[in-house]
Amino acid sequence: MVNPKSLKWDKHHGVPRLSFGVGLQSVFDRGAKLYFDKSLIMPSANTEKMIFRGHSDHTTDKVYFPTEAISNEERNAGLFLFVPFIVSPKPKYHKIEFQRRDVWAVAGRHGEDEPFGLSWDQKPGKLFLPLAFPNETGKFPDTFILIEKKNKGADPEYVVIKFSSDFAKPRELVVGEPVVVSWSVVPISEAPECLQKELEKRQDEMAIDALADRQVSDFAQRRGLTRK
């Protein structure tokens, strides 16, 4: 059991120093009457903001878990302790949800040929990647996120985050019992090959864009023009 005072009541919880968040949710039939374990809920907790009620064209509602986050910034690693707090009804299934925050990011797994999700479509703003937890294998496969880390006045860095969990079927989530998802920053050499190739592609694209910008600036200077 965790100390209720240590729980953070937010849908997504950030990875330190990166524009990236993680959430865990249970999925229920739309309109389900939800009953909470009140022993986990401190007076300051806002349970309503943890609930996403499906729209008219949805068949389900989602409830996000409060979390205790533990990090070791020296080791670039940490844990999210997600705590189920719905006593009834029984959820249909669970999902882990990754959230990028106005940065480029893409996901991949070992043994898969292509990266997937997040900034794949290059759209700005917040994007989410929901994945079954656990999935059809009965566990949560290690998932790697390649994310751009913007630096003021400098070229961006690219960081790989590995997410893992030992939660696996036939276990079931138990109210008040933490579900642990661990994260760590790893070298690109440990990332799936599809992400290594995606990083090379991304860096090539950035180099081409930078060259084009320099050429336009040089042309403008020669013509005595000012870029707006």
**Residue 221 has what pLDDT?**
60
The pTM for the full model equals 0.86
**Residue 118 has what pLDDT?**
84
Decide: 63 and 54 in contact? Cβ < 8 Å.
no
Structure confidence by residue, pLDDT tens digits, 141-179: 999 999 998 877 677 899 999 999 999 999 999 999 999
**Could you tell me where the beta strands, DSSP code E, fall in the chain?**
13-14, 20-29, 35-36, 51-52, 60-64, 67-72, 77-82, 86-88, 93-101, 105-108, 126-132, 143-151, 154-164, 179-186
**Residue 214 has what pLDDT?**
57
Q: Residue written as tokens 């999700």?
A: 117
Residues of the chain with pLDDT under 70: 120-126, 153, 207-228
Query: At residue 222, what are phi and psi to the nearest 5 degrees?
Result: -65, -35
The SS3 of residue 148 is: strand
**Residue 23 has what pLDDT?**
97
